[in-house]
Amino acid sequence: MHPLNNLMLSALQRLPQSLVKPVAMRYIAGETLEDAVRVVRDLNARKMMATTDVLGENVSTEEESLRAVQACEKVLEALRKERLNANLSIKLTQFGAQINENFCYENVKRILPIARDHKNFVRIDMEDSSLTRTTLNLYEQLRGEGFENVGLVIQAYLRRSEEDVKKLIRNRVNVRIVKGIYIEPEAIAFQDREEIRQNYLKLLKVLLDTKNYVGISTHDDFLVQGAYQYIREMNLPSTAYEFQMLYGVRPRLRDQIVADGHRMRIYVPFGKDWYSYSIRRFKENPQIVRYILQALLFRN
């Protein structure tokens, strides 16, 4: 991150959370499940799908993890009851991966049958590189046990991702492809923006060529146009892929993609742990930080 952006983010983090919250909530459904249901219902009315995320990660006790599992169970039940077109994303550090890997596995396995009974789907988010192998191993174990309603995420900035994709496509997979947001060393991750973009498109092409279902998750016009080109060249039906974006980010681009006839899924986070999520989003998009500080400095 540019030094000036670091300085602004540092200044923002010193502000009371009460000042940050009004802007942060533009990118979060709210603090409750009812808030998430409301937002998802509105997105569905606009012909968009959603994926819900109960905010929270890096938990340190089994009790916290079990509360997260229960919250996810309630999400799946609410989606069924309200007949919403939405699925669920989870993070392994929220389910106890840093406490005990087998404990985490049992927690994930606990919610998959519920999702399957509701004809729904669970995606395991990818976190920083210390969790990459754990996440892939757990995913492969669950698929080997017959769970077809589980997917994962591949980060284009990791140098290992091409090899991971080649292994994954041996079995039909449902993959969300992202650039990647965690700060990783050059030895394991591309640092140059164009290198990351080109690797993203390379991985996307491999996945689409082998007829795997891909969530094309990006807010980058260049990558959107690259995806459009592949879709045209391969003559893919709109059911073979979907675009994905974060709630509150680039709504005009989102609406244009939908108007162009492509399916769109919006990532809808909610929960009490909104602050840490917001800071991570602000690190990705320093322009938001500038906007917040300007709004606070020049408000009446």
Average pLDDT of 43-59?
A: 95
pLDDT confidence of residue 286: 64
Asked if residue 56 has pLDDT above 80, the reply is yes
Residue pair 139/152 in contact (Cβ under 8 Å)? The answer is yes
Backbone phi and psi for residue 118, each to the nearest 5 degrees, phi listed first: -90, 10
Residue 250 burial by CB count (10 A; 0-12/13-18/19+): exposed, middle or buried?
middle
Please say whether the beta carbons of 254 and 215 come within 8 A. no
Overall average pLDDT of the 31-35 stretch: 97
Q: Which two tokens stand for residue 22?
A: 């009004």
In whole angstroms, give the CA distance from residue 221 to residue 253.
Answer: 8
- For residue 111, what pLDDT band results from cuts at 50, 70 and 90? very high
Start-end of CATH 3.20.20.220 domains in the chain:
34-270
Residue 24, pLDDT score: 79
Give me the half-sphere count of Cα atoms (radius 13 Å) on the Cβ side of residue 19: 15
Residue 300, pLDDT score:
45
Radius of gyration for the chain, computed over Cα atoms and rounded to the nearest angstrom: 19
Three-state DSSP state, 22: helix
Q: What is the structure's pLDDT at 209?
A: 97
Q: Give the count of beta carbons closer than 10 Å to the beta carbon of residue 236.
A: 15
User: Which pLDDT value is given to residue 253?
Assistant: 97
Cβ neighbour number for residue 133 with a 10 Å cutoff:
11
Residue 189 is given by DSSP the state B
Question: Mean pLDDT over all residues of the chain?
Answer: 92
215 φ/ψ sector (left φ>0, alpha ψ -120 to 50, else beta): beta
Could you tell me if 179 and 156 are in contact, meaning their C-beta atoms sit under 8 angstroms apart?
yes
Is 176 annotated in the active site?
yes
Q: Determine what percent of the chain is predicted with pLDDT higher than 70.
A: 90
What letter represents residue 66's amino acid? L
Average the pLDDT over 201-223 and give the result.
Answer: 97
Q: Is 14 a catalytic residue?
A: no
- Which of 53, 125, 164, 273 is catalytic? The answer is 125
Q: Which residue has the tokens 């046990």?
A: 145
Give which of 177, 174, 162 is closest to 227, Cα–Cα.
177
The token pair that represents 280 in the structure block = 């991570």
State how far the Cα of 133 lies from the Cα of 131, in Å rounded to an integer: 6
State yes or no: pLDDT of 247 exceeds 50: yes
Is CATH 3.20.20.220 the classification given to domain 34-270?
A: yes
Look at residue 284 and tell me whether its pLDDT is greater than 70.
Answer: no
Tokens of 294: 């300007």
The one catalytic residue among 123, 164, 176, 197: 176
At 287, is the pLDDT very low, low, confident or very high (cuts 50, 70, 90)?
low
